A and B are shown apart, each in its own frame.
Chain A
Amino acid sequence: MSVPAELHYTPEHEWVSFEGTSASVGITDYAAQQLGDVVYVSLPALGAAVAAGEPCGEVESVKSVSDLYSPVDGEVIEVNAELEGDPSLVNAEPYAAGWMFRVRVAQDGNGDAALPADLLSAAEYEELTKSAG
């Protein structure tokens, strides 16, 4: 199971990658393995306002449906349209071609990206998956 060191993680088994004021979001390798073959991904609409910890889409696998959460507050500026035609990218490359959406992160009073305090490091996330069995 892969947990790239440079990414941030959430307890909902999503990863976040920050580039300036934008954040790319996907689900982790662990999540993809737990879900099994992903068959459908419902992504938020372009321009939609998303809030940290709130559901903004769905990931559907052969056996289950899971909510997709935004890890940050902000506005959706890009979605991975490739997933509509090939949702199996989520299983094949969860951290690359299987990415899901990009958010322009809301700014705090100082003009910095407002990041939630509860994001996990790679080491912390790995620990979480181990304790989840």
Chain B
Amino acid sequence: MTSFAGWQMPLRYASETAEHQAVRRAAGLFDLSHMGEIRLSGPGAGAALDYALTGHLSTLRPGRARYTMICADDGGVLDDLVVYRQDEDEFLVIANAANTDVVLTQLRDRASGRDAQVTDATGDYALVAIQGPEAAGILAPLVGGLDLGAIKYYAGAFGEVAGRRAWVARTGYTGEDGFEVYSRPDDAEQVWTALAAEGSGAGLVPAGLAARDTLRLEAGMPLYGNELGPDVTPFEAGLGRVVKFDKPGEFVGREALAARASSGPSRHLAGLTIASRRIARHGYPVLADGRTCGTVTSGAPSPTLGVPIAMAYLDRPAASLAGADLSVGIRGDAVPAHLTDLPFYSRRR
């Protein structure tokens, strides 16, 4: 167990490597109840989110989800978010646990006068995720009142799981197919137990935070506090597509983000593989021909590739480093590294 943003979280149940492999090959079960849930209700909710976030959420159809960000006036990222439109006037914003208070405060401020009520719903939901190629097959016999096959990637629906009411969404943070089940906290144990029992014959294992981190890293997904933070805009992270300049009206950060879009990013997120068993960890320097050219943001062994991988911010585009001798400074040693396209892993569809 480990302390994480005020929650006690399982770092691993047994071997994080085995948990990672299970998610890639079969399925893993995650307790993600620490995630923040913020509800926006009312006829002005879509417009309020258009103003508050980088995305064009008012165009989201009910039953669909979108990945988006909330930025400060200077364009710095305050959090990355998944937003579900659960009904015409009902949105559920999923924030990182450590950022929930900031996001809640900002959303309340930015929604004021826009005919939308903002409420912290974190305590109303527990979140159990089932991820991996077997996830749909394990979940299917347990759902009621919804058609799992009709829930496409980045969509969701209300129904029942193991007899308990839930919002079931085809979203995740692992690079695999899978579902996130938002239930009442009192119902989460029943949801977890039923999924664990249903999946036990299909290779499902409980998976902790450590596996979640290596899975998202292989999938090239950013982690707030590593690749994202108030000192970068979405453009540095290669996620400029989440900024919808063509939406009508103002939105927070527009001016600064437009300037960054035209000037180009100040840093460049790149993927590295490490020619060693040693891990290039957060904060370690990246060297080109012996001179510092960037900093590692996340690093871990990749069970799928069999070598350590890392993401790093470089001070120049990766293309301009072709031919350079790249290395990572690992506690005093320059360990050879190679640039790799992101993501490191994409599932076959």
A24 in contact (CB, < 8 A): no
Chain B minimum-CB-distance residue to A91: B15
Please, which residues of chain B bring their CB within 8 A of the CB of A123? none
Within the complex, what minimum Cβ distance (angstroms) separates A100 from chain B?
15
- B277 close to A87 (CB less than 8 A): yes
The count of residues in chain A whose C-beta lies closer than 8 Å to any C-beta of chain B is 12
Known: A36-B11, A36-B210, A39-B301. A60 touches B278 (CB 8 A): yes
A30 at the interface (CB under 8 A from B): no
Contacts of A87 in B (CB 8 A): 277
- Residues of chain B within 8 A (CB-CB) of A62 are 16-17, 210, 214, 279, 300-301
Using Cβ atoms and an 8 Å threshold, which residues of chain A touch B300? 62
A60 to B277, CA, bound (A): 9
Q: A40 at interface (Cβ–Cβ under 8 A)?
A: yes
How far is A91 from B14 in the complex, measured between Cα atoms in Å? 11
| Min distance, Cβ B298 to any Cβ of chain A, angstroms | 12
CB closest residue in chain A, given B276: A40
Query: Which residues 9-64 of A sit at the B interface, judged by CB distance below 8 A?
Result: 36-37, 39-40, 58, 60, 62-63
Fill in one digit per residue for B16-32: 1 if any A CB lies within 8 Å of its CB, else 0.
11000000000000000
Given known A-B contacts A62-B301, A63-B11, A63-B210, A40 and B277 have beta carbons under 8 A apart? yes
Question: Which residues of B are found within 8 Å of A37, using beta-carbon distances?
Answer: 15-17, 301
Q: Does B66 sit within 8 A of A, measured CB to CB?
A: no
Cα(A119)–Cα(B15), bound, Å: 30
* Chain B 45-69 residues near chain A, CB threshold 8 A: none
Interface string of B187-203 (1 = CB under 8 A from A): 00000000000000000
Whether B12 contacts A36 by the Cβ 8 Å rule is yes
Q: Does chain B have a CB within 8 A of A65?
A: yes
B331 at the binding interface (Cβ < 8 Å): yes
Contacts of A88 in B (CB 8 A): 17
- Cβ contacts A to B, 10 pairs, < 8 Å: A36-B12, A36-B15, A40-B278, A60-B277, A60-B279, A62-B16, A62-B300, A63-B11, A65-B279, A91-B15
